[in-house]
């Protein structure tokens, strides 16, 4: 059957290729190879012409994010023109915040198949009270395509979110995501505290506030102790007091009641975050940063196309030479490729470990508080506030190392093991034990601590073990 125009699927494919910089000649050559591979032309799409591609090139070249001089009017015009990609829109009116939910057809396919690259929600409100508005619409859109779709888990990084809304909408468990709070604390420490030894001790104490206060009746007691110990760190304390103290109990309560996500999704989140920042906060576009229409345009064209290309390369093997290596890896997957022999653990001092650099084998990086989510590495990547791959590898290595470690060694350094085991919610560890050795390691440490407790009766570990 003849069709006057190419399909929307092919149009999006060619547009994505053009957005990432693939030339007209290469687009046409690739298309002809694909047609031949499928046994010759059968429909209008197979007869894609150079003129078709030129028209799309011209469309990209002449397109602009600024559909109207007024940003608000420009956004409304974009919404009207792209109804099929908008699953929720609420204009900023009175007490109602601006909310725009965007999901392209390709994103929907990725969500159904892989559970990622889901959607974008742009809002003027940073509280979770309006989450039900767009979430219900997103679920309806998904269930229209696949009524059986159920995500494995939903991560939240705001303790004020009504998790019951998420459970009702997606019918899945909800995990607390600590990537944002961890990154914010670490980057502020690196900026406002000049002494590395003090940085790592403060970071370790911050982790204890979040995790180990499940045994403390009053969260503020633990906070007060932290602020007294590091009272001379005025710059960070001012930041902590203003930004985090008002909601620290919310965070602690969420950790008490919800399982905590593991390091693997944190690494994926961080990788996405860094790519988005590199694209959106490019100084060449600084004059547009205050316009929402520019953000929408950038996300749905260039940024969307980068992810489309990476997935297309994975699925077809084409354009390998154009692949951005950062899209296929993150700190977690890089850590999985560090050989065990390059991780150096000392049973006499469990408070630190060393990892041989994978790019310069004459360099060894030191990790303090190894095995903990609030560990700190002296590698350049970690010193920028990022998750360090060396620490990820240590979680697995610690389990292997401690399997045959005598109880006497654990008895000699109980505080270290408490720190290492405190940062994994036991409910989540039991639920996901099969998913990784880091979870097995945590359970193993807990059992060793309980053995010590039973052997020593009034041993000082008793109080800590009650909450594990």
pLDDT tens track for 269-283: 999 999 999 888 887
Partner residues linked to 86 by β-bridges: 102
Whether pLDDT at 87 is above 90: yes
What pLDDT score was predicted for residue 334?
84
- The residues, any chain, with a CB within 8 Å of residue 189's CB and separated by 6 or more, are 199, 202, 203, 236
Length of the chain: 468
Whether pLDDT at 71 is above 70: yes
Whether pLDDT at 356 is above 50: yes
**356 or 389: which leads in pLDDT:** 356
361-407 pLDDT, tens digit per residue, is 999 999 888 878 888 989 998 999 998 765 655 665 565 555 455 55
Partner residues linked to 349 by β-bridges: none
In the chain, % of residues over pLDDT 70:
80
- What's the burial of 144, exposed, middle or buried (CB within 10 Å: 0-12/13-18/19+)? exposed
Quote helix, strand, coil % in the chain, to nearest 5: 60, 10, 30
- What's the burial of 21, exposed, middle or buried (CB within 10 Å: 0-12/13-18/19+)? exposed
What pLDDT score was predicted for residue 423?
39
Triad 272, 276, 282: Cα angle to 5°: 150
Distance of CA 138 to the CA centre of its chain: 20
- State the pLDDT confidence band at 93, using cuts at 50, 70 and 90: confident
- Which residue from 187, 167, 186 is spatially nearest to 257, judged by alpha carbons? 167
Tell how strand 343-345 and strand 376-377 pair up.
unpaired
**413 or 231: which leads in pLDDT:** 231
204-227 pLDDT, tens digit per residue, is 999 989 886 555 567 888 899 999
Tell me phi and psi for residue 119, to 5 degrees. Answer: -170, 170
- Which residue from 108, 193, 214, 220 is spatially nearest to 427, judged by alpha carbons? 214
Q: Indicate the pTM of the whole model.
A: 0.80
Sign of the alpha-carbon torsion through 281, 284, 286, 288: negative
Please give the structure tokens belonging to residue 452: 């010590």
Across 223-236, average pLDDT: 95
Q: CA-to-CA distance for 410 and 120, rounded, in angstroms?
A: 47
Whether pLDDT at 126 is above 60: yes
What pLDDT score was predicted for residue 203?
95
* CB count in 10 Å sphere of residue 413: 15
288-319 pLDDT, tens digit per residue, is 889 999 999 999 999 999 999 999 998 999 99
Whether pLDDT at 137 is above 80: yes
């Amino acid at each position: 059957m003849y069709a006057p125009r190419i399909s929307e699927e092919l149009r999006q494919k060619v547009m994505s290729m053009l957005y990432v910089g693939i030339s007209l000649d290469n687009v046409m050559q690739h298309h002809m190879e694909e047609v031949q591979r499928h046994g010759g032309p059968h429909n209008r799409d197979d007869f894609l012409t150079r003129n078709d591609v030129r028209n799309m090139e011209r469309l990209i070249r002449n397109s602009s994010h600024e559909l109207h001089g007024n940003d608000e009017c420009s956004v409304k015009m974009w919404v009207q023109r792209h109804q099929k990609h908008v699953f929720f829109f609420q204009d900023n009116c009175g007490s109602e915040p601006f909310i725009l939910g965007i999901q392209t057809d390709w994103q929907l396919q990725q969500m159904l198949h892989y559970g990622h690259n889901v959607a974008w929600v742009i809002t003027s409100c940073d509280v979770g009270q309006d989450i039900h508005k767009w979430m219900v619409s997103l679920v309806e859109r998904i269930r229209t395509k696949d009524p059986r779709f159920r995500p494995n888990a939903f991560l939240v990084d705001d303790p004020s979110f009504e998790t019951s809304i998420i459970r009702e909408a997606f019918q899945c468990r909800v995990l607390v995501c600590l990537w944002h709070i961890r990154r914010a604390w670490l980057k502020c420490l690196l900026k406002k505290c000049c002494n590395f030894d003090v940085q790592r001790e403060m970071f370790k104490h911050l982790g204890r506030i979040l995790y180990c206060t499940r045994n403390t009746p009053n969260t503020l007691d633990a906070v007060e102790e932290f602020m007294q110990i590091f009272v001379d760190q005025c710059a960070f304390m001012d930041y902590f007091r203003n930004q985090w103290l008002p909601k620290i109990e919310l965070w602690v309560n969420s950790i008490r009641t919800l399982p905590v996500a593991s390091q693997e999704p944190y690494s994926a989140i961080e990788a996405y975050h860094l790519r988005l920042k590199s694209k959106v906060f490019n100084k060449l576009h600084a004059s547009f940063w205050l316009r929402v229409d520019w953000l929408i345009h950038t996300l749905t064209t260039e940024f969307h196309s980068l992810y489309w290309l990476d997935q297309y390369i994975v699925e077809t093997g084409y354009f390998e030479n154009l692949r951005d290596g950062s899209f296929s890896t993150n700190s977690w997957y890089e850590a999985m490729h560090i050989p065990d022999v390059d991780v150096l653990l000392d049973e006499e001092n469990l408070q630190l470990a060393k990892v041989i650099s994978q790019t310069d084998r004459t360099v060894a990086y030191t990790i303090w508080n190894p095995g903990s989510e609030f560990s700190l590495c002296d590698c350049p990547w970690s010193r920028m506030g990022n998750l360090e791959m060396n620490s990820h590898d240590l979680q697995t290595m610690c389990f292997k190392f401690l399997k045959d470690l005598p109880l006497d060694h654990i008895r000699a350094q109980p505080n270290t093991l408490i720190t290492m085991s405190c940062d994994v919610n036991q409910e989540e560890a039991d639920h996901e034990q099969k998913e990784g050795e880091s979870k097995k390691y945590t359970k193993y440490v807990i059992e060793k601590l309980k053995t010590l407790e039973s052997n020593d009766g009034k041993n000082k570990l008793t109080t800590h073990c009650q909450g594990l």
